[in-house]
Chains A and B, each alone.
Chain A
Amino acid sequence: MKYHFFLLLSLIAFGLVSCETTQVVHHKAPALPPEIQKAQDDVYGLENQMYQAQHDLAIAQIDEKEQELQYQKSANPAFSAQYTERFSKLEVLRANAENRYSLAQQWYSAVQNGDLDSAKSIQEQMNQP
């Protein structure tokens, strides 16, 4: 399942690259025809939904790990210090996921305002490891 998930993400990434390439080709041209603008807005809307779905997945995975740790901690109370450290790591992951989603919302806001330079810069921040 994980393999397929990453494969899907890579397919989308390839799609977006080819999408951006054609956009660059047309960048010099005047305003885009309305049907292209509409299709572009659809892509932005779905990209936004994708960021939301990825965020929900990340949070669900963290929740699952927390539940498992809680279960293990109850079964092994002697190792509670060790579990505290693991819980802290999960909280860092949760904060990272929230931060990424906050950037995604800024990206979508920039896109909707037609500020494509800011949108690109925000996406670059999001793609940083």
Chain B
Amino acid sequence: MCKPIFYIFLMSFIFAAPLRAQDISNAIAGVNRAQQRVWDVGLQLNAAIFKLNTLKLDWQKNELTAFLKEAQQKGDMDAAGKIQDKLNEIDHRKDLENQKLDLNNQLIAAKQQGDQGKADDLIFQLKNLQ
């Protein structure tokens, strides 16, 4: 009487083990897909932020350029000098944002090509620019 029950138990265990292994394997694949999605969205988000920063800097530059002309017309060379300093700073920040955007685009390409070595190097360069 006990033997069939024992065999049923044994068989269920034997068949359940590979199924559980399959479940774990599916779960790991799910984690990898989710990680990849975080990467993809993260890189797109980076690009959008760099683009937004550049647009804001362009806007600031336009406004300051108008103020600069006004100061020069009034002969207020002190104010004009200060505005020019700010404009130079904006140009420097714009240059940085463009470099970051370029590195981020290269990083997207490296990730798509599966070139992890290049991706690591680009991440390092990006981090140094922050």
Contacts and interface: CB of A to CB of B under 8 A. Distances in A.
B10 interface: no
Interface residues of B, number: 43
Contacts, number: 130
B123 interface: yes
Contacts of A63: 27, 30
B49 A19 contact: yes
Contacts of A18: 49, 53, 130
Main secondary structure of the interface of A (DSSP, over half): helix
Interface of B: 13, 16-17, 20-21, 23-24, 27-28, 30-31, 33-35, 37-46, 48-53, 55-57, 59-60, 63, 100, 119-120, 123, 126-127, 130
Given A33-B59, A53-B34, 16 more contacts: A5-B35, A12-B42, A15-B45, A15-B49, A19-B52, A36-B56, A42-B48, A43-B52, A46-B45, A46-B48, A49-B41, A50-B45, A57-B37, A64-B27, A67-B23, A71-B21
